[in-house]
Amino acid sequence: AWRLGADEVTVVYRRTIDQMPADREEVRALLEEGIGVEELASPVDLHIEGGALKGLVCVRNEYRGDRDGSGRKIPHPIEGSEFELPFDMLILAISQDALIDFFGEEMPRLTDRGYLEVDPLTLETSVGGVFAAGDVAGSGPASIVKAAADGKTVAAVIVTREGGEVGPAPRVLPDVSVVEIQVRKAHREYRVPITHVPVADRRNFAISTFPYTIEEARAEAARCLDCDLYCSICVGVCPNMALMTYVSEPITMDLPVVTINDGASQVTDHTPFRVEQGYQIVVLTDFCNECGNCVTFCPTAGEPYRDKPRLYLNREDFLAETDNAFMLSESDGVPSMQGRFSGETHEIELNGSLAYRGTVGSARLDPNTFAVLDATGAEGSVFGFEEAATMYAILRGLQDSMPQLPRIGGEDKGRIPPPQFVS
């Protein structure tokens, strides 16, 4: 309205400015342009004379300490607090709806909130072959980052259905100076401010901000924390020191798939396996009370205490898990590891060669190439070594960079009691 030439514009809002579901930049621009905000006010009636709008009757609101499901304060009307604001034009700005009438007669199913209902994994609508992503789909408006991710999901599903292959794009990770990254993370660098068009020149619908200069863009890009190279934020925020960073050498190999025929093993296929990042996280479950602090601070919206490899010292706890559970052992100087995958226990032992014992078969492998030295299993059985490679990557990383970690060995194997906390 202000850009169309209105002399005075007021936003009537039932909450306070700090509760507005708007970007800070939008609120700041609103105030800079002299738009008034009538806070804690809800419209209840229109004042109309001779068919023309004269004013908007509102009631004052107040907060009483309660909040809605999203955590926002709930405004409550104050009895007898009605007042009138003089207006000659009223524009409703109470959310937005998706225009999806172009579907015609074959309308996809909608959610209770009016968005397109989609499969949570494929983002396909109820109309076969029609996908929906971004603000119009699922739970509705979110962020441009989520919309872009939805687009990638849809593209991957379509490629797969058409017989193509989808995988991560190959990339070469640069050498990382952990010290340099840690020094940068220890100092807060504020965002480079965006330059706006003067308020007097904004009474139109032209772009109201200027792009960064080359120097400003470089300064803003330099604020990147390089989480894809070295993050470990969860390590620093864990109050129990249950999460630790370990170094893992990059691994890229094609793992053999073995078939047992006539009592002999034969490599009949390969599956790709890779570990790209040099710095990984491990969870010491006996020290983790699952407080969720790592989840709160994770910059990629992950759940580190659940997502990262989980090490156990107690066999009962270990066997109670179906996946992502590992036990680090050592006997007579020979390291080994057990892991739980799909409810089954797999084991490796590193003693010159890599001995693997799985649920379908066993094998002895070259730890550097995973070439099969020998393998045994039931006649006709087929098995691969993804579980073995996963455990080997973790075991090797922990051996090299965290030799201080407790290991289970000797007669006490699998029976170390959990830590006791004494006040």
Residue 29 inside a domain? The answer is yes
SS3 content of the chain, % helix, strand, coil (to 5): 25, 30, 45
**238 and 355, same domain (yes or no):** yes
Residues 280 and 400 in one domain: yes
d(CA 187, CA 79) in angstroms, rounded, equals 51
| 110 and 21 together in one domain | no
Confidence of residue 423 (pLDDT cuts 50, 70, 90): very low
Is residue 45 located within the same domain as residue 134? no
Asked if residue 110 is part of any domain, the answer here is yes
246 and 393 belong to one structural domain: yes
Answer with the one of 62, 86, 110 that is the final residue of a domain.
Answer: 86
pLDDT tens per residue across span 228-278? 888 999 999 999 999 999 988 888 999 999 999 998 999 999 999 998 888
Q: Indicate the pLDDT class of residue 409, thresholds 50, 70 and 90.
A: low
Question: What is the distance between the alpha carbons of residues 246 and 232, in angstroms, rounded to a whole number?
Answer: 10
Residue 201, pLDDT > 70, answer: yes
Last residue of a domain, one of 86, 118, 149: 86
Query: Mean pLDDT of all residues in the chain?
Result: 90
Domain membership of residue 377 (yes or no) is yes
pLDDT score for 160: 93
Question: Residue 3 domain-assigned?
Answer: no
Q: Specify whether 49 is located in the same domain as 21.
A: yes
pLDDT of residue 166: 82
The residue type of 179 is V
For 320-367, write each residue's pLDDT tens digit. Answer: 999 999 999 988 889 999 999 999 999 999 999 999 999 999 999 999
Within-domain flag for 93: no
In a domain, 172, yes or no: no
276 and 245 share one domain:
yes
In a domain, 219, yes or no: no
Q: Are residues 20 and 79 in the same domain?
A: yes
Same domain, 271 and 390: yes
- pLDDT of 413 > 60? The answer is no
Task: Give the domain extent around 124.
Answer: 101-161
pTM above 0.75, yes or no: no
**How do residues 135-146 score in pLDDT, each as one tens digit?**
888 888 888 888
Lowest mean pLDDT among 10-14, 171-175, 329-333, 416-420: 416-420
**Count of domains forming the chain:** 4
Distance of alpha carbon 336 from alpha carbon 333, whole angstroms: 10
Tell me the average pLDDT across 14-41: 92
Closest residue by Cα to residue 13 from 48, 42, 49? 42
Same domain membership, residue 258 and residue 401: yes
Tokens 């003067």, residue located: 198
CATH number at residue 67: 3.50.50.60
Residue 173 has what pLDDT?
Answer: 66
Q: Is residue 155 located within the same domain as residue 280?
A: no
Boundary (domain end) residue, out of 86, 117, 152:
86
